[in-house]
Structure 1
């Protein structure tokens, strides 16, 4: 299956960000992708007041993403914000397209490095996988990458590919951590991992903020933990072919899932 990773810099205006989603989805379709993945907070970047712009999954923003997916004839995965019952919002991934309608609310919130996502965002509680063209795919978001049990749960549910939209916080050592963690999670669960970050703001003239707004360096990592494709810090569209048979091959050689003694469902 060919997938596309869309490394963009989202702004504060959900309408303008929708125009970017459409442009990227059409480019991905032209490149032969069946799935295009955009970052966490595609709807509006962090640092924007989230409560006033949050919409339900049947609201106008998500409805337009569905229309874009139909127009491009591929599955679109994009980060948005939906209302939560306690007055906060949920950090939601919308996945929609031919034969696919799913959503995932980020489980692990970014209460780290001086930022408190939980002040405005309520955590999700459900592991989510979906099927795209007969291939099981797991959904995760940004800070989730620090918790290997989630990606093993994807594998236990039959996933051979995990998607990780992100808006990674900048700072000393954070690029090294990003590279290490995405490779480790692919290797832990012996899955392909597509990690899609927001582009670094300075690369397109966007004013930096103290909120996590991305560093770029989106990548596709194989089930053996090797990086197969990578972008730099600037905006870009990466396409990659995912060899599903390679997952079975790696799992025969490195049977970490079968050899586990703890944490099995």
Structure 2
């Protein structure tokens, strides 16, 4: 399975521009991919001003256009995350859209970032998502959630071998980004597809350096801080049994609960 990872330079607060540019990048990546992934909150560039006006409803035209794109190119699309209004509250939500254009699952960020407005303006999600993409059992986590290893262990114990992580990770914390993504892969015997934003917002630079980490902790490319489309290839056979045989997984009790 070939994965197109769009490290987009979003303009903070310029929603119409971001959407138009995002579709250009998605269409380019779709020509060469089975799965296309966008970063976190790319439509707003992590700008929370007037968030209630920028949040979408699940019946809005944007989601329909994303579904049409997936159907047209016959790909699976994870359009990063979007600010989605549900029952009067805003969630940081990722969708999995299948090659038929149907939404096969969604996941709303459980652990909201508490050093910015995200945790004040958004509602934390509940539950987790594990779904099959091109025959591969995949999970979702969002940005800051790389700091929560129990999430990834829970997904691993459910048979997940690839976790998609859309992100808006800042440049000044890139050392954490690199180490945490590799650690989650190594300790769980899984691939981590971490797609970060480029550009800047509120005088803070997004870090870029997206990663496609294999279960041994190696990335197939070394990203930089600029806008790019990177490509990773999930090897169905190379690490097929690693999550079931790695000793750290086997020694841990399987019945703990996520906190």
Q: Please report the TM-score for the alignment, with normalisation by the length of structure 2.
A: 0.89
Shift of 1:67: 1.3
How far did 1:55 drift?
1.3
Hey, what's the Cα distance between the residues in 2 that align with 1:131 and 1:56? 25
In the alignment, the residues of structure 1 paired with residue 155 and residue 40 of structure 2 have an alpha-carbon distance, to the nearest angstrom, of: 19
Any conservation in 2 of the 1:160–1:244 contact (CA below 8 Å)? no
* Other-structure match for 1:163: 164
- Matches of 1:54 and 1:116 in 2, distance apart? 15
Deviation of 1:263 (Å) = 5.1
SS at match of 2:215: coil
> In the alignment, which residue of structure 1 is the partner of 2:237?
245
> Hey, what's the Cα distance between the residues in 1 that align with 2:239 and 2:128?
21
Check 1:263–1:184 CA distance in 2 against 1; reply closer, same or farther (3 A cut).
Answer: farther
Q: Does 1:184 align with 2:171?
A: no
Residue 196 of structure 2 corresponds to 197
List, as ranges, runs of 4+ consecutive aligned residues in structure 1 with deviation greater than 6 Å: none
The answer as to whether partners of 1:108 and 1:123 remain within 8 angstroms in 2 is: yes
Alpha-carbon distance in 1 for matches of 2:199, 2:18: 16
Answer yes or no: is the 8 Å Cα contact 1:129–1:137 preserved in 2: yes
Structure 2 CA distance for aligned equivalents of residues 247 and 177 of structure 1: 25
**Distance in structure 2 (CA, Å) of the matches to 1:41 and 1:73:** 24
- Partner of 1:198, secondary structure, is coil
Structure 1 gaps, min length 5? 202-207
Aligned match for 2:249, one of 251, 257, 261: 257
Which secondary structure state, in structure 2, belongs to the residue aligned with residue 193 of structure 1?
A: strand
| C-alpha RMSD over aligned residues | 2.0
Report the number of matched residues.
252
CA contact (8 A) 1:127 1:153 kept: no
Q: Is the 8 A contact 1:84 1:122 kept in 2?
A: no
Distance in 2 separating the partners of 1:28 and 1:69: 11
Structural mapping, 1:51-90, within 5 Å: 51-78=52-79, 79-85=81-87, 87-90=88-91
Contact 1:8 1:38 in 2 (8 A): yes
**What is the CA–CA distance in structure 1 between the aligned matches of 2:233 and 2:23, rounded to whole Å?**
22
Structure-1-length-normalised TM-score: 0.87
Question: Cα distance, 1:58 vs. partner?
Answer: 2.1
Q: How many angstroms apart in 2 are the aligned matches of 1:60 and 1:252?
A: 42
Contact kept in structure 1, 2:36 and 2:75, CA below 8 Å: yes
- C-alpha distance after superposition, 1:66-86 (max 9, x if no partner): 11212222111121111144x
Secondary structure of 1:126 counterpart: coil
For residue 151 of structure 1, give the secondary structure of its aligned residue in structure 2. Answer: helix
2:35 and 2:227 map into 1 onto residues whose CA distance is 18
Distance 1:14 1:47, change over 3 A: closer
Offset, 1:187: 1.4
